[in-house]
């Protein structure tokens, strides 16, 4: 029941009808909470007890934080709630890497293993545990709504359009919306339709078709020509962006049908002019969550630049581990942490030494940052550290370049043309933002015709075998 399946849209349609026909706001909130739990049960019934347990435990912990008057008691409730959330995240996400301890956990934790004995990643656990932690910290900082019910909290943690891959919600932004009476106006429906169509286009036309080349290349790095490795690495950068931002567009567009606004998660990240700018554009809900709840919470932030740099690297290491238990994820997080520190240290010097015109300086910065990001995605994509060594060895095999350049397959040439078109499209989008322009033309004949062409492209170019969203496994 993902966005690409008929069953999801059928479930969405039934839920929306029940929500729209609800006589009052209370019933609407009950429909959203109940449908989210039903959705979770239909997709992964074995781990529903985990979700329900975490919902109840962290909600009660939040109530304890808000009602307790003694600072020490508030801290204990906060520690219990965060400890429970982190324990669930570690048990259900990293058990397969914990050896005998993980096997012991599998005997106690419901749904941690399937019938064949394989470890199962609990649906959305990376997202709803972070949301639970954020809620508890907001309660402790007295920033979360104090009158939210358990029903609303269920929707906050498990809202079905976003639970699988975000974006990560903030309690102070999302919970108040559940108490507002939403009215379905034509501009809202049109905006929702545009986001859904563009999200499906990104996923089914671009990301899924690039996946075939990327998966084939990275499955056998040692036997792949270096030119194909380079093309596949850039293709993966586009695949990952279109796959993940496509999901986000679908989640935001679907939520709008219920009068709910989800946070922006991507802002054309490959047009970033610095690595800091990249993280302000990529997976925004996660990077801002890590900034507000991890980086600013680490000790020593005011004691000097060295402590700030250390905390930045720790934060990015946590970002890497959040994606997975493999060493490559940790290295990827540390890689970006080092890049962020280097940017902070070197930025003043670059401003003094750079004599380029402003427009050329920006273009050089964009191209340079893109190369750094793509190098990081190589670390992110490979499955083992040994694959990185093989990848590097293939890149410096200069003899292989001579024959490969003149024997590119038609498929690989097509990928190169597509990547070039997307690159040009990004630059054009700086001046003519297509999605925003479409959303501004409510039911305009030109806009409707363009949207129809996009829908036709989805039907024509979608792959016969559905490709799972990449971030489902994180």
Catalytic residues: 323
> How far, in Å, are 18, 165, 270, 319, 432 from residue 473 at the CA level?
31, 9, 23, 15, 34
Q: Quick check: 340 and 279 in contact, CB under 8 A?
A: yes
> How far, in Å, are 11, 44, 222, 418 from residue 84 at the CA level?
32, 21, 43, 46
| CA contacts within 13 A on the Cβ side of 191 | 17
| CA contacts within 13 A on the Cβ side of 113 | 13
Give the Cα-Cα-Cα angle 5, 162, 285 (nearest 5 degrees). Answer: 140
- Computed from CA positions of residues 231, 237, 238, 242, in that sequence, does the dihedral angle turn out positive or negative? positive
Q: What is the CA radius of gyration of the chain?
A: 23
CB atoms within 10 A of CB 297: 11
Q: Give the SS3 label for residue 6.
A: helix
Give the Cα-Cα-Cα angle 400, 404, 409 (nearest 5 degrees). Answer: 150
Cα 92 off chain centre by: 19
CB burial of residue 357 (10 Å; 0-12, 13-18, 19+)? exposed
Question: What gap in Å lies between CA 364 and CA 352, rounded to an integer?
Answer: 16
Question: What gap in Å lies between CA 385 and CA 104, rounded to an integer?
Answer: 28
Question: What gap in Å lies between CA 443 and CA 186, rounded to an integer?
Answer: 8
Question: What gap in Å lies between CA 450 and CA 441, rounded to an integer?
Answer: 11
Closest to 127 measured CA to CA, from 363, 322, 347, 369: 322
Phi and psi at 303, nearest 5°, equal -90, -5
* Tokens at 166, concatenated: 């975000």
Torsion of the alpha carbons at 111, 113, 387 and 415, rounded to the nearest 10:
-60
Closest to 391 measured CA to CA, from 269, 218, 171, 264: 218
CB-based burial, 25-60: b 16+ in 10 Å, e otherwise: eeebbbbbbebbbebbeebbebbbebbbebbebbbe
């Amino acid at each position: 029941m993902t966005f690409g399946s008929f069953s999801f849209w059928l479930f969405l349609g039934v839920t929306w009808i029940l929500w729209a026909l609800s006589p009052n706001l209370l019933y609407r909130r009950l429909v959203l909470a109940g449908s989210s739990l039903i959705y979770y049960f239909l997709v992964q019934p074995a781990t529903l007890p985990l979700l329900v347990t975490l919902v109840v435990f962290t909600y009660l912990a939040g109530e304890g934080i808000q009602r307790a008057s003694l600072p020490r008691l508030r801290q204990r409730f906060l520690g219990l709630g965060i400890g429970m959330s982190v324990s669930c995240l570690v048990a259900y996400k990293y058990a397969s890497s914990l050896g005998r301890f993980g096997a012991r956990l599998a005997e106690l934790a419901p749904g941690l293993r399937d019938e064949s004995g394989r470890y199962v990643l609990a649906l959305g656990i990376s997202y709803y545990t972070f949301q639970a932690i954020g809620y508890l910290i907001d309660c402790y900082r007295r920033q979360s709504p104090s009158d939210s019910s358990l029903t609303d909290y269920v929707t906050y943690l498990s809202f079905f359009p976003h639970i699988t891959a975000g974006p990560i919600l903030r309690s102070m932004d999302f919970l108040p919306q559940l108490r507002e009476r939403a009215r379905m106006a034509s501009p809202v429906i049109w905006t929702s339709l545009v986001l859904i169509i563009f999200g499906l286009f990104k996923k089914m036309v671009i990301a899924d078709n690039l996946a075939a080349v990327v998966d084939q290349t990275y499955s056998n790095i040692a036997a792949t020509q270096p030119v194909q490795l380079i093309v596949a690495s850039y293709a993966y950068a586009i695949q990952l962006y279109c796959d993940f931002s496509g999901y986000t567009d679908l989640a935001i567009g679907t939520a709008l049908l219920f009068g709910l606004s989800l946070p922006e998660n991507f802002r054309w990240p490959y047009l970033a002019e610095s690595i800091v700018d990249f993280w302000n554009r990529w997976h925004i809900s996660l990077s801002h969550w890590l900034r507000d709840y991890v980086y600013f919470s680490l000790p020593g932030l005011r004691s000097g630049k060295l402590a700030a740099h250390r905390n930045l690297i720790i934060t990015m290491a946590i970002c890497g581990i959040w994606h997975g238990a493999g060493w490559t994820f940790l290295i990827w997080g540390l890689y970006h942490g080092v890049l962020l520190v280097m940017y902070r240290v070197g930025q003043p010097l670059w401003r003094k030494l750079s004599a380029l015109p402003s427009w050329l300086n920006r273009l050089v910065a964009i191209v340079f940052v893109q190369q750094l990001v793509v190098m990081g995605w190589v670390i992110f994509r490979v499955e083992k550290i040994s694959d990185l060594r093989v990848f590097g060895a293939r890149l410096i095999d200069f003899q292989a370049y001579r024959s490969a350049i003149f024997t590119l397959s038609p498929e690989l040439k097509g990928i190169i043309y597509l990547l070039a078109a997307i690159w040009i499209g990004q630059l054009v989008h700086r001046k003519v933002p297509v999605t925003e322009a479409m959303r501004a033309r409510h039911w305009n004949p030109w806009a409707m015709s363009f949207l129809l062409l996009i829908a036709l492209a989805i039907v024509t170019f979608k792959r016969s075998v559905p490709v799972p969203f990449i971030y489902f496994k994180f």
